[in-house]
Each structure stands twice: as C-alpha cells, then as structure tokens.
Structure 1
Amino acid sequence: MSGEMLVHVVDDDLAVRRSLAFLLASDGIPVRLHDSALTFLEAVAHPAGCLVTDVRMPGLDGIELLRRLKARGDGLPVIVMTGHADVPLAVAAMREGAVDFIEKPFDDAVFLAAVRAALESGRRSAERDAARDEIRQRVAALSERERQVLDELVAGKPNKVIAQDLGISPRTVEVYRANVMAKMQAGSLAELVRTALMIDSGR
C-alpha cells in the first residue's frame, strides 16, 4: 500500500468515515478508512498520498498523531478536521506540521479542493524523496577518492586547489572529476553541484 497515492481518513465516527469515503470515491479519489489514530499508525508504515484526520478523538488525538508521524519521519501531508470551537487546536496542529484545517460542517467542494492540493503536495514530496534516494545510490557507488573530489568540487574549489589538498596531480584530479561526472550522471559542473546538494536539502 505504501506506493499508492491514497487519502487516509482517520475518524472515530463511523458516519463521518462513510460520508467522506463516499464523497472521495464519487470524485474518483482512492480512500482508506481508519477508526483511530493507533490503527492507522499500525496499519500503514510509510504512507503515500495524504491524511485527513479529526483533531478530537479518544485515545490518540490528531495533535499527537501528527507528532508521531513527524517522529518516525513521515512527511505525509495532513489535513485536520475540526469543530468551530476547536480552531485553536487546529492552529496547534498546523504548528505540528498539518498543511490545512477544515471546520465542520464543511462544503464538499472546499474539502475536495483541499484534498487534491494535499495529494499534489504528497506526490511532489514522494518524487523528491525518490530523486534523493537515487542520488544517494550514485554517491555510494563512488570510490573514496572520487567522493573526496566530489566534496571539494561542491565546496567550489578549482582543480589545482583540489590537487594540492589531496596530494595528487591536477591531471589526476581531471580523471577523477570525469569519473564523478559520469557516475553522478551530471552533464555539467553546475548540474553536479546541484545534484549533490539535493541530498542535504530538506523536504
């Protein structure tokens, strides 16, 4: 289930779950229902898509669910549903990383627009993560000396300085640089630096 872009709905109210499932399905959006935050956390290891959760639930509430997702490194976009009196809780949820909150009762079109925006955000995030994983694999394939040359290039050093730093000739640096460019699949030095920096960039 981890690679499928689903809307996960977490709410302890069966009627709400069924209503949202019908609404999402009628718009052609895949959905999976969970009756509590704990069942969601136990059922889905690294979800793709987005999460719609009630903020007030028995046991684990929406705020704590956000904290646990953050703690285990899940960058899932989260939309929080809240009653009018719970707006301060929704604001707190956004401080914990929620991308949006919707007050009940909400307009169907507003809800679907929020879900589509969250799904698009989740898709872009998943693509960035996949790109970073691929770059990490390319870096892992470099030899120790090639990695040293890469680090020096990313630091903005010219070949002569790299040669002095590593105790090798400028010609040898050129050979290593060419190998690094090929293994990193970079067509230019600028692309190589940009690619390498992606590993350290945040979500």
Structure 2
Amino acid sequence: MSGIVYIVDEDASFRTEIQRQLEKSGYRVVAYESAERVLEQRPDENEPGCILLDVRMSGLSGPALQSRLLEDGSALPIVFLADHFDVSTIVKAIKAGAEDFLVKSVQSDQLLPAVERALARHWSSLLANREFDTLRSRLATLTPRERQVFVLVVGGKLSKQVAYELGTSVRTIKAHRKKVMEKMRAGSLAELVSFGERLGVSTHDD
C-alpha cells in the first residue's frame, strides 16, 4: 500500500537513513526535525499515512506530541521509535493508541511491516469515515415522512405496523419505503437496516 510516512526525529542521519529505506520501498516521506515542527506543519489526514515518532527529543517528547495530536482529533497511527525498550513508556504509548513500538536499530524486515500495518489501519479508518459521510448525505435527502418510515422500518416494524403508527395506508407506506430504498441506495432490507445501525438511527429519533 502506498502512503505518506511522517518521520519525526531530531537525528538528521537517522532521518535520512529511514527515509532512504522507505522511499526505496515506494513510500512518500515527510521528515520533521522536531515535534514542534509537526504542530506547525500538520500532516495530511485525508490520505493514508502514519507517523514514525522518536520517543525522546530535546523539545516536546514523542508521547507529549502523541497527546497533543490526539487532543486535536488526529487519526494518524503512530509507530514509536526508541534507542531501547522501556516497558513503562511502551505501555503508556500503546494504551494511548500507538500502533507499535520499535527500537531504532530495527531492520527493514521489521520496520516495513509495521509501517504497512499502520497505513492499512489509517486507510480503513478513512474509508469508514467516507462511507459514513456518504450515508449521512443520503439520509439528508429524505423527506420528513420518508425519514419517519426509515426509522420505523429499520426499527423492525412491518409496513402495516408503520401505516398504523403514522395513520396512513399500507400502500402509501410501501411507496415511501420504495423511495427510501432508492434514496439510500439499499439493495435489500437487510442493507437498509445496516445503514440505519451505522447512522445510529433508532425508533427514538425525531
């Protein structure tokens, strides 16, 4: 998988070496000499990416940058790099959502799979967000009555039950339901119910 790898490390020679390895494997690379620089020039969150982040730096530390990015809603997976394994640091980083933790002497056969996993996770996250946005935009095209029918149908009610609840005929409800299926682009009732679950629609919706 292609993507952007953001390297954050104050050691210029290390940055160069890692960048060379990654670019040789087909990745685009953006290198930062400090955590502060990342906050000044934010990574692109809209395409697959991950951050290779040094734990200890003279300014803002790796874990401190991780906290700042999380506070700002960043979804970029972070792979921490350190001179040696520090169990307490590893535990804190992983609990805070870090993708992986590697020692700086790591070989490419360990580094590249870690990067690939991180990029794949971010890609999955991007896809899920885009699909959710698409569903939300489709939901917005429903009329108030179609929205009511949608909510009741995905809540498990039959057409005759929906008709009774809304005070209209079964034939009318079936017509609304057909329009809902078309507008939501659902190929089946099961898919429509799945859309409803993903959108958080319930029979308690207004």
The structure 1 residue matched to 2:40, chosen from 39, 42, 46, is 42
Tell me whether 1:182 sits opposite 2:182 in the alignment.
yes
Are the equivalent residues in 2 in contact too, given 1:5–1:123 (CA < 8 A)? no
Give the equivalent residue in structure 1 for 2:145: 145
The alpha-carbon deviation at position 180 of structure 1 amounts to: 0.7
In the superposition, the TM-score normalised over structure 1's length comes to: 0.88
Tell me, which stretches of 5 or more residues in structure 1 are unaligned?
Answer: none
Deviations 1:148-175 (A, max 9, x none): 2111122112222222333332222211
RMSD: 1.9
Equivalent runs, 1:13-28 vs 2, <5 Å: 13-28=11-26
Residues 192 and 97 of structure 1: is their aligned pair in 2 closer, same or farther, counting only changes over 3 Å?
A: same
The size of the alignment, in residue pairs, is: 197
CA distance in 1, matches of 2:142, 2:179: 9
In the superposition, the TM-score normalised over structure 2's length comes to: 0.87
Give the equivalent residue in structure 1 for 2:90: 90
The alpha-carbon deviation at position 104 of structure 1 amounts to: 2.5
Give the equivalent residue in structure 2 for 1:129: 129
Equivalent runs, 1:184-199 vs 2, <5 Å: 184-199=184-199
Letter of the 2:148 counterpart: Q
Q: Hey, which bits of structure 1, 4+ residues long, moved more than 4 A?
A: none
Letter of the 2:20 counterpart: F
The alpha-carbon deviation at position 45 of structure 1 amounts to: 5.7
Are the equivalent residues in 2 in contact too, given 1:82–1:104 (CA < 8 A)? yes
Letter of the 1:91 counterpart: V
CA distance in 2, matches of 1:172, 1:147: 14
Are the equivalent residues in 2 in contact too, given 1:62–1:93 (CA < 8 A)? no
Letter of the 2:74 counterpart: D
Give the equivalent residue in structure 1 for 2:161: 161
The alpha-carbon deviation at position 21 of structure 1 amounts to: 0.7
**What SS does the aligned partner of 1:53 have?**
strand
**What SS does the aligned partner of 1:74 have?**
coil
**What SS does the aligned partner of 1:51 have?**
strand
CA distance in 2, matches of 1:42, 1:199: 34
The alpha-carbon deviation at position 143 of structure 1 amounts to: 1.4
**What SS does the aligned partner of 1:39 have?**
helix
Deviations 1:156-198 (A, max 9, x none): 1222222233333222221111111000111110011112323
Tell me, which stretches of 5 or more residues in structure 2 are unaligned?
Answer: 201-206
CA distance in 1, matches of 2:10, 2:144: 53
Give the equivalent residue in structure 1 for 2:101: 101
Are the equivalent residues in 2 in contact too, given 1:149–1:177 (CA < 8 A)? yes
CA distance in 2, matches of 1:174, 1:34: 58
CA distance in 1, matches of 2:30, 2:138: 35
Are the equivalent residues in 2 in contact too, given 1:83–1:103 (CA < 8 A)? yes
